[in-house]
Structures are given as structure tokens and as C-alpha cells.
Structure 1
Amino acid sequence: MTAGILAGLAAGALWGLVFVAPRMVPGYAPVDFAAGRFVAYGAIAAAMMLLGLRTRRRPTLRQAGAALGFSVLGFTGYYLLLVLAIRDAGTEVPTLIIGTIPIWVMLLGKPGHLRWGALAPGLLLTLAGLGLMMSAPHGVAGEGLPPHYARGLLLAAASLVCWTVFAIGNAAWLKRHPEVNATDWANWLGVATGLGAVVLWLAAGSGLKTLEVQADGSLFAILSIATGFGSSWLATILWNLASQRLSASLCGQLIVSETLFALLYSFAWDGRWPTWAQWLACGLFTLGILASIKAHR
């Protein structure tokens, strides 16, 4: 159980990077950034599969189809919606909307033997933290809301639905297929995600000439590779390990760590300290994780 918890927390730390990375290359369209990250993930996963061609397990047609479906829910579809939401509503509020994923996963993925009373402390602490963070002022004083703020909130909600379905379905699939290990499943998801990202870019991405004239092309490539490797390939392996060892409800609570790290990275990028309310909200998030771990023990 301890190994699963540590793996889930580490995955959250890596996932948190994807909330601030698009802000580092504002000249690129959301589709381009999503495609760049996931093409890198697919290339890394394909290379790992080739290196282990003789020793690693290969997917059946049915398993490949499952990987393709989950790749849309948990990667290309989810992240495209999130990047669009960040473009329209900024970083912090979409981060907080995504931060409610633990609540939905806890509610929908609770083990039958676990009493609701045992989950209540962690759930209430997380809700209190989200409420406090949402009520805190966001952005720089004097700035109005972005022009497409409401659309950004809707896009963030859609990305929440995608990843909630992915989290519950992915955990259930892994438990039904114990013969598939975490690394193999991450590689299969990666190849499917990379193929989907190519289709996504061809359908809606910027043309090569448009990309070539961007001044920060090197940074875009570095961020694509870094998030493709760390926030996708490695984080997926870690999350698969957590999903195999822990219940869906506890995994859901661990996703709060993604919110904590995303906020930390956002504050660091903006060069400002959180307000007292935001500090308190982060403390409530942390206590919620600890309370949920205690309940599941």
C-alpha cells in the first residue's frame, strides 16, 4: 500500500507540470502543444516496446482497442480540453475544477466494504480546501476576467468528465487484467496516444510553416519532450502501479497532489506567493489526503 501511495503522489507531481507548461510558450496553439506532448509520449513508448520486443508482452487486438479508447479519455481528449480551458480562463481556476476529480472518483469508486463515514473526513477536507481556494482572489489585482472565461470553465468541466471516466475505468481494467504490468500498459497507451496526437494535429493543428516562424521553437520542443517523458510516460507507469495496488477511491484522493503541485508551479511561474487563504486551502488538501489514507488502512 505504501508503494502505491508514493507512486500516486509522484504521478501527481509530474502531472502538475502540464498546467503551467502551455503558459511558457503562449505563441503556440493548444492543439499544437497537446500534439507535441503526446507525439513525444508515443515515440518514447514505441522505443521502449522495440527495446523489449523479445521479452515484453505484446497486446492482443482487444487490448490494443482498449488502449486506444483509454488514450482518448485520459490523454489526447482530456489534455486538449484542458489546454483550451487554460487558454480561455487562465491556470488556477481550471486547475481547481480538475482538482474536484478526487471527489468524483471517491464517490464513484468507493469499495463496497468501506463505510461512507470513514471517507467523510477526507472528502469534507478536500471540499473545504476547494471552496476556500475558489473564493480566494486569482490573478493580478486590477485585471478583469479573460474574455472567454465562461467557455474556459465549460471546457475544464468537460476535461474533468473525461479524466474521471478514465481514472475509474483504467483502474478497473488493470484489476481485471493482472497479467498486464504497469510498464507494458503505459507503453500501449503511449503508442495509441501518439497515433491519436498525429491525427489531432493533422486535423486541427497549425501548419509547418506557421510552426517554423515561431521564435521559441527550441523551448516548445524541450517542453514537448519533457512533458511527454515525465508527465506522460513515467507518470502513467507510476499511476498504473498505484491503480493496481490501491482502491479507486484512494487513488482518487491522491489526485489532489496534482492540484497542489500545479498551484505550486503556477505561483512559481508568476513569481508571487499564495495568499493566506490559498495556503490554508493547500493545508486542507494535504490533510484530506492523509485522512483518506488513514481511512483506507
Structure 2
Amino acid sequence: MWMGKLYALIAGLMWGLVFVGPLLVPEYPAALQSVGRYLAFGLIALPLAWLDRAALRRLSRADWMEALKLAAVGNLLYYVCLASAIQRAGAPLPTMIIGTLPVVIAIAANLRNARRDGRLPWARLAPSLLLIAAGIACVNQAELATLRAQTHADLARYVVGALFAFVSVACWTWYPLRNADWLRHHPGRSPRTWATAQGVATLPLALVGYALLWLVMDVSGSHFAMPFGPRPMVFIALMAAIGLFASWLGTTCWNEASQRLPTAIAGQLIVFETLAALSYAFALRGTLPGVQTMLGVVLLVAGVVWAARVKPVPLEYLEAEHL
């Protein structure tokens, strides 16, 4: 259990990096940042796949199809929406919306995996939901106040950014549930091998996505300098760093955590990603968060800590109580 939580902490620290990437290259389209990141992830996975080729050969066609689905939804679609959200609404609000994932995943796992992992009593989970909702409301109010103070504020752009963040939540609620299913059903397989397999599966998707994006931008008459934009060295270095640390290392550590922990508990530990992302975002701004933002963070953490204290109860025990 403690090793699982440690792996989840490292994964959160790595994943927090993806929230500052769109802020470092704001002139780059979100779709290009997504396919660029996962092209880097796929290329990094190739030599790792060669070293792990014996284990990868043991994967069936169904396993590779599952890796492909996880790569499409949990990698490409998720990051397109997240980068779009951050570019439109800034980093703090999307980070807090993503911060609801611990409880959203816990609820989904509660409904879906109760027979396998046990059920979290709903009455004990309710206070955490209220705390997290209050935390998001606080950060939202603080960011809206900052937006209104700007001369050329665009409220519609901010709202669209928030909507993109909610789509990201949907993608990454589906991903860990399906990913944990595979890992729990294959306890003898290496989480590192499964992370590498997802990287290999991501590569053709990223290549096709890159080519299609280039074609669409060319046909539409875009003046954006493809394939690597106006700052090619910065873009390539950033995508390589995020591909290595956030995609491969983060996924490997998350797989290790998912194989050791019940899904409802592992999902709650995504709060580490939220805290890391907020820390990185405000460090990049060069400012400290305001009182209202800090209150929102405290409420979010309190909600997740509350949820983490709720232990799953075996479904058979609950059913016996009702007899």
C-alpha cells in the first residue's frame, strides 16, 4: 500500500509538468502540442520496447487493441482538451477542475468495481464532494476576478476553456478505470512493459495526427511554420521532456500504483498531480496564489483527504447487512 502511494506521488509530480507546457509555448496550437508530446512519447518508447521485446511479444492482439484505445482517449484526446483549456482559461482553473478526478474516479469505481474492490459508503463520501465543489468555486471566483481586471478580458474564451477541462475529466475518468482493469487482470505482467506498450501504440496515432494537422493547416492557409513552429528547438526540447517524464515515467509509476491499490483509492491520489500543477503554474507566473485561491486549494485537499480516509467495504458484507 505504501509503495503504491509513493508511486502515485511520483506520477503526480511528473504529470504536473503537462500543465505548464501550454503556458511556455502559448503560440502553438493545442492539437500540435498534443501530437508533438505523444510523438515524443512513442519515439522514446521504441528503444525501451526493444529492450523489453520478450515481454511485449506475450501481449495478445486484444492487449494491443486495449493499449491503442487507452492511448487515443487517455493520451491524445485528453491532452488536446487540457492544452486547449489552459490556453483559454489559464492554468489554475483547469487544474482545479482536473483536481476533481480523485472523487470522480472514486464514484465511478464505486459504481463499477464494487464487487472487485469493495464499496465506499456514499454517506461518508458526500462531505468530500461538497468540500471539492467549494474549492473549485473559490478558485473560479479568484480567476474570474483576475480576468475582469484585465483590459481585454474574454469571458467567452474562459468559459470554453472550462468546458474543455470538463471533457478532459471525462477522458481521464475512463482511462484509469480501463487501465486498472487490464493491470488487475494481468497481475503477472510488468507495469513498465504496459507503459511501454501504450507508448508504442501511441506512436502511429501521433504520426497520423501530425500529418493530418499539417495538411489541414496547409489547406486552410495558416501562416504557422510547420512542422515545428516559430521556436523549433524550444518546442522539440519541451515535447521530449514531457514525453519522457510525464508520459513514460508518469505512466510507469501510475501503473505500479494501480497494480498495488484498489482503483477507488488510487484515483484519489491524483490530487498529487493537482498540487504539483498549481505549484508549477504559480512559480511560472512568479506570484503567490491569493487568499481565495489558497482557500480553494485547502478545500480541495481537505475533500480528497476526507475521501482517502473512507475505506472500501466488501460488497458481500453490505449485502449481508441488508438481509
Normalising to structure 1: TM-score of the pair? 0.91
Which aligned pairs between 1:74-223 and structure 2 lie closer than 5 A? 74-110=74-110, 111=114, 112-138=118-144, 139=146, 142-143=149-150, 144-145=153-154, 147-205=156-214, 210-211=225-226, 214-223=229-238
1:216–1:103: structure 2 CA closer, same or farther, 3 Å change rule?
A: same
Q: 1:84-109 deviations in whole A, cap 9, x for unaligned? A: 22222222222222222222111111
Instruction: Provide the identity percentage.
Output: 37
> Which residue is 2:318 aligned to?
none
How far does residue 191 in structure 1 lie from its aligned partner after superposition?
Answer: 0.8
Q: Which amino acid aligns with 2:75?
A: F
Question: 2: distance between equivalents of 1:286 and 1:88?
Answer: 25
User: Counterpart of 1:4 in structure 2: which amino acid?
Assistant: G
Query: Which residue is 1:246 aligned to?
Result: 261
**Residue 286 of structure 1, CA deviation:** 3.0
Residue-pair matches, total: 297
1:266 aligns with 2:281: yes
Structure 1 stretch 200-209 or stretch 15-24: which is displaced more? Answer: 200-209
- Report deviation, 1:83: 1.3
Q: Distance in 2 between matches of 1:172 and 1:54?
A: 23
- 2:42 is the alignment partner of 1:42: yes
Paired position in structure 2 for 1:19: 19
Supply the distance in 1 between the matched residues of 2:227 and 2:73 (Cα, whole angstroms): 30
Q: Which moved more, 1:53-62 or 1:193-202?
A: 53-62
Query: Based on CA coordinates, which of the two structures has the bigger radius of gyration?
Result: 2
**What residue identity is the alignment partner of 2:203?**
G
Q: 1:170 & 1:9 partners in 2: Cα distance? A: 18
* Gap change, CA 1:229 and 1:287, over 3 Å in 2: same
| Compared CA separation, residues 258 and 44, structure 1 to 2 (3 A) | same
Structure 2 spans left out of the alignment, 5+ residues: 313-323
Task: Give the match for residue 272 of structure 2.
Answer: 257
**Residue type of the partner of 1:276?**
V
| Contact 2:45 2:200 (C-alpha < 8 Å) held by counterparts | yes
Matched-pair contact (CA < 8 Å) for 1:57–1:184: no
- Alignment RMSD, CA only? 2.4
1:10 aligns with 2:10: yes
- The 8 Å contact of residues 124 and 288 in structure 1, kept in 2 or not, is answered as yes
TM-score normalised by length of structure 2: 0.84
What is the CA–CA distance in structure 1 between the aligned matches of 2:300 and 2:164, rounded to whole Å?
A: 24
Structure 1 pair 195–79 and aligned structure 2 pair: CA distance change class (3 A): same
For 1:148 and 1:209, the matched residues in 2 are separated by 21
* 8 Å Cα contact 1:128/1:281 also seen in 2: yes
CA apart distance, 1:159: 1.7
The answer to whether the 8 Å contact 2:71/2:202 transfers is yes
Mapped to 2, the partners of 1:288 and 1:89 lie a distance apart of 24
Asked whether the equivalents of residues 211 and 217 of structure 1 are also in contact (C-alpha less than 8 Å), the reply is no
Name the residue aligned to 1:293. 308
